[in-house]
């Protein structure tokens, strides 16, 4: 990211030049190649080796366009290696450019296997797209295709299919330029060239997953996603990564409204550029975890967990929080700013101290993206007025309060189910979580959606606001987190503290008519 | 208002018996001709390559399913009857279906899946009957859909013949 930032800042200093693209005069940035100007203008120039986040090399030659400069006759040039110059006249649809691109495509397809039915890239493959537009129906070559290793493992994350590779060298440049740990190279010569690691060592580092995104064909694929889904079946929603406080812009991709299949980076120059780390990319376990808490669960005098509907559970929670005056509100760092604001208003009504859980930083931090801080909305919640409290301190402080309101996903994970079970029984605990753990100390639990089912704002470590969006429907019986908090707040304001609220004489008592639809799914 | 005039019958017609005998002669003549009706449930319908029955999956002669779970039939299906999940195999063709469901109650027998298939793995078979007691029983899974290539040969040859015209 530091590099792309440097490029961006350099771009602002240089003067813009005027060029003509397909008959339109446009302002272009001379620090960027011609292809960037064409793309900015909305003209489609095919490209395989060019990537806006990497240095151009011009190895695939598919981006050739017609260029006229000065008194010279128009000629065909590779747009990714041609700097923009004043008075340049560009024709991306010149017949000669089309011919040149078609010929390049034929050579690229010469050794490319017809694997589309089994290839994970099919549907988002630019070689496939451009072959569909301009390719020939049949190959003219009489020579057999290259036979190479079709499933060469490159470490724990990536599988290489050497036959599919078109040697664009994006992956090689990625390791050289982004994490700056060169690991791949193009070995052998001529038609024997293959992408390989130095000494066949497995790839290392936390940014290997990006290779599968930048590979223009299906040569580098993720082991995790291999044959898991066809890309056109994935429902894609622009969202924000929950992995750390960097809050990389991601696309959440969900199969059949049910399973989150992958996170992919989305271009966001202020935050993550084009990349994301593997920790965030493969954080699929938490959003896909089963046995969700749907509706509410009460634990009355009998000590048995009893499922009820959300509203009943919230009414019992209200009674508890009113009777047991001194309360601590513990928010999860996954709470959005909007939910934090609602919770803060609730805390004001209750007179409770709002804190958010701040787990220990992990050792995944690096210079590129990962901050090592597992709280995606630390800054947002801090600026709202929540105090950051480490896990141990929360567990130490909790017994000194009469009641506690724990709100947000993964609180059970972070606090530890065992630690929750050892809380004193005098402490009344109301838990708003995605999952439930059968613990005698939790008096009321209410299900809320997790971060792929909610919408809202997370503020990242630099103060950049990232939206999280609804990628799949919430489980049945689960209310939006803002609605849950809002309803609890409303119930609290309706019966002012100290007044004889209904049911306040028997806190924690289970009402005689629990909702029938609530289940622990 | 339409006034229908009663036909005035001739003497021959009013005799009654000659017309009865004429009718009976037809009955007796047809009795010795080949029958055109079919005793349907016991006697099946004639089928050939043109028959577009229910879709079935081809199992190749080596015992492996021909489908590579590319998902094109799923995408082509206008009735959303097909659901496929893929998995990895150790064979040369690395991909095979883990799950291949066709909801026969949704299937409209249009044959788009057969047309979309790049691997000659799904064909409209000559199986026409579809009846069961529950809806669930008619959501067929892969085991219910598999047929050996020999059973589908006639249709495969017919489709090839049609495709070769282009």
Q: What is the DSSP string of B86-151?
A: EEE-SSSS-EEEEEEEEETTT-----HHHHH-SSS-EEE-S------SSSGGGEE-HHHHEEEHHH
Please list every residue in chain A whose beta carbon sits closer than 8 Å to the beta carbon of residue B71.
230, 232-233
Domains, in order of start, for chain A: 2-107 (3.10.20.740), 293-520 (3.40.50.740)
Q: What is the nearest CA distance from B66 to chain A, expressed in angstroms?
A: 12
Take residue B58 and report the two structure tokens written for it: 């081809």
In what side-by-side order are the strands of the sheet with A387-389? A305-308, A296-299, A442-447, A428-433, A403-407, A327-331, A353-357, A387-389
Residues 6+ apart with CB under 8 A from A463: A379
Please list every residue in chain A whose beta carbon sits closer than 8 Å to the beta carbon of residue B67.
none
Give per-residue burial for A159-168: e unless 16+ CB within 10 Å, then b: bbbbbbbbbb
Q: What is the DSSP string of A354-372?
A: EEEE-PPP-TT--SSS--S
Which of B69, B55, B68, B70 is closest to B102 using CA atoms?
B55
Domains, in order of start, for chain B: 55-164 (3.30.70.3270)
CB nearest to B94's CB, from A116, A151, A228: A151
- Inter-chain touch A117–B87, beta carbons under 8 Å: no
Between CA A338 and CA A71 the distance in angstroms is 61
Q: What is the nearest CA distance from A229 to chain B, expressed in angstroms?
A: 7
pLDDT above 60 for A307: yes
Residue-wise pLDDT tens digits, B142-152: 999 999 999 99
Question: What pLDDT score does A518 carry?
Answer: 44
Question: What pLDDT score does A301 carry?
Answer: 65
pLDDT above 60 for B4: yes
CB A255 within 8 A of CB A234: yes
CB contact A132 to B (< 8 Å): no
Does the interface ipTM go beyond 0.90? no
- Inter-chain touch A230–B95, beta carbons under 8 Å: no
Tell me the percentage of chain A whose pLDDT exceeds 70: 91
Residue-wise pLDDT tens digits, A321-368: 887 778 888 899 999 999 999 899 888 888 888 888 888 888 888 888
Mutate to test the interface with B, among A116, A118, A125, A259 (most CBs of B within 10 A): A118
User: Model confidence at A146, in pLDDT bands (50, 70, 90)?
Assistant: confident
CB A320 within 8 A of CB A300: no
User: Model confidence at A160, in pLDDT bands (50, 70, 90)?
Assistant: very high
Nearest residue in chain A measured CA to CA from B84: A229
The Cβ of residue B98 has, within 10 Å, a number of other Cβ atoms equal to: 15
CB nearest to B119's CB, from A117, A227, A233: A117
Between CA A48 and CA A113 the distance in angstroms is 17
Q: Between the CA of residue A299 and those of A67, A273, A289, A447, what are the distances in Å?
A: 75, 48, 24, 15
Helix (H) or strand (E) holding A19: strand A17-21
Between CA B13 and CA B11 the distance in angstroms is 5
Residue-wise pLDDT tens digits, A4-35: 444 444 445 568 899 999 989 999 988 899 99
Q: What is the nearest CA distance from A146 to chain B, expressed in angstroms?
A: 15
Strand ranges (E), A128-270: 152-154, 158-160, 184-187, 194-197, 220-222, 234-240, 249-255, 259-265
- Inter-chain touch B74–A230, beta carbons under 8 Å: yes
- Inter-chain touch B74–A233, beta carbons under 8 Å: yes
Between CA A271 and CA A251 the distance in angstroms is 14
Residue-wise pLDDT tens digits, B72-100: 999 999 999 999 999 989 888 889 999 99
Alpha helix (H) residue ranges in A41-136: 95-110, 126-134
Residues 102-121 of A with CB under 8 A from B: 116-118
Question: What pLDDT score does A321 carry?
Answer: 82
Q: Residue A460 carries which DSSP code?
A: -
* Residue-averaged pLDDT of chain B: 91
Between CA A77 and CA A62 the distance in angstroms is 10
Helix (H) or strand (E) holding A27: strand A24-28
CB contact B105 to A (< 8 Å): no
Residue-wise pLDDT tens digits, A211-253: 999 999 999 999 999 998 999 999 999 999 998 889 899 999 9
Q: Between the CA of residue A153 and those of A142, A202, A203, A221, A276, what are the distances in Å?
A: 31, 8, 9, 10, 21
Residue-wise pLDDT tens digits, B42-76: 888 888 889 999 999 999 999 999 999 999 999 99
Take residue A393 and report the two structure tokens written for it: 């301190």
Helix (H) or strand (E) holding A331: strand A327-331
């Amino acid at each position: 990211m530091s590099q792309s930032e440097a490029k961006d800042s350099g771009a602002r200093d240089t003067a813009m030049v005027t060029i003509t693209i397909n008959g339109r005069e446009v302002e272009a940035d001379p620090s960027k190649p011609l292809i960037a100007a064409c793309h900015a203008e909305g003209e489609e120039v095919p490209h395989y080796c060019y990537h806006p986040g990497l240095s151009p090399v011009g190895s695939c030659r598919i981006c050739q366009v017609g260029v006229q400069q000065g008194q010279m006759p128009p000629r065909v040039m590779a747009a990714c290696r041609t700097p923009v110059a004043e008075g340049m006249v560009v024709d991306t649809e010149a017949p000669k450019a089309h011919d040149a691109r078609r010929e390049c495509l034929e050579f690229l397809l010469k050794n490319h296997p017809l694997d589309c039915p089994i290839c994970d890239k099919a549907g988002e493959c630019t070689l496939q797209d451009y072959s569909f537009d301009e390719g020939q129906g049949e190959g003219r070559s009489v020579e057999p295709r290259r036979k190479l290793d079709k499933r060469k493992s490159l470490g724990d994350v990536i599988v290489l299919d050497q036959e599919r590779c078109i040697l664009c060298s994006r992956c090689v440049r990625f390791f050289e330029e982004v994490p700056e740990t060169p690991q791949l190279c193009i070995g052998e010569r001529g038609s024997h060239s293959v992408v390989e690691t130095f000494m066949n060592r497995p790839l290392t580092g936390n940014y290997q997953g990006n290779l599968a995104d930048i590979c223009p064909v299906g040569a580098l694929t993720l082991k995790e996603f291999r044959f898991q889904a066809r890309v056109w079946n994935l429902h894609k929603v622009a969202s924000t990564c929950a992995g750390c406080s960097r809050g990389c812009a991601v696309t959440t991709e969900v199969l059949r409204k049910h399973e989150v299949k992958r996170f992919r980076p989305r271009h966001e120059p202020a935050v993550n550029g084009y990349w994301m780390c593997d920790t965030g990319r493969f954080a699929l376990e938490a959003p896909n975890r089963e046995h969700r808490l749907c509706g509410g669960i009460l634990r009355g005098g009998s000590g048995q967990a009893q499922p009820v509907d959300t509203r009943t559970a919230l009414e019992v929670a209200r009674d508890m929080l009113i009777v047991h005056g001194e309360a601590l509100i513990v928010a999860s760092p996954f709470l959005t700013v909007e939910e934090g604001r609602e919770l803060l208003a609730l805390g004001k009504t209750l007179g409770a101290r709002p804190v958010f859980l701040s787990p220990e930083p992990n050792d995944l931090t690096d210079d590129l993206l990962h901050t090592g801080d597992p709280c995606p909305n630390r800054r947002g919640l801090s600026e709202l007025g929540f105090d950051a409290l480490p896990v141990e301190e929360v567990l130490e402080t909790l017994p000194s309060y009469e009641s506690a309101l724990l709100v947000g996903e993964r609180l059970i994970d972070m606090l530890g189910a065992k630690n929750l079970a050892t809380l004193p029984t005098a402490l009344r605990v109301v838990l708003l979580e995605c999952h439930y753990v059968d613990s005698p100390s939790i008096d009321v639990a209410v299900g809320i959606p997790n971060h792929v089912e909610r919408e809202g704002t997370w503020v990242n470590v630099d103060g950049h606001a990232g939206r999280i969006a609804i990628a799949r429907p919430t489980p049945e019986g689960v209310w939006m987190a803002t609605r849950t908090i809002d309803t609890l707040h409303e119930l609290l304001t309706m019966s002012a503290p100290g007044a004889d609220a209904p049911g306040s004489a028997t806190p924690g008592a289970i009402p005689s008519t629990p909702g029938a639809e609530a289940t622990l799914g | 208002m339409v006034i229908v005039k009663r036909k005035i019958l001739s003497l021959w017609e009013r005799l009654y018996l000659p017309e009865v005998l004429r009718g009976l002669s037809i009955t007796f003549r047809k009795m010795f001709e080949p029958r055109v009706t079919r005793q349907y449930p016991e006697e099946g319908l004639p089928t050939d390559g043109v028959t577009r029955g229910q879709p079935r999956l081809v199992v190749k002669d080596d015992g492996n399913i021909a489908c590579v779970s590319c998902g094109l039939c799923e995408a082509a299906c206008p009735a959303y009857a097909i659901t496929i999940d893929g998995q990895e195999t150790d064979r040369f063709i690395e991909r095979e279906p883990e799950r291949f469901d066709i909801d026969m109650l949704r299937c409209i027998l249009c044959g788009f899946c057969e047309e979309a298939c790049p691997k000659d793995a799904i064909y409209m078979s000559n199986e026409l009957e579809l009846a069961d007691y529950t809806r669930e029983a008619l959501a067929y899974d892969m085991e219910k859909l598999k047929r050996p290539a020999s059973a589908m040969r006639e249709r495969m040859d017919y489709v090839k013949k049609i495709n070769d015209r282009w």
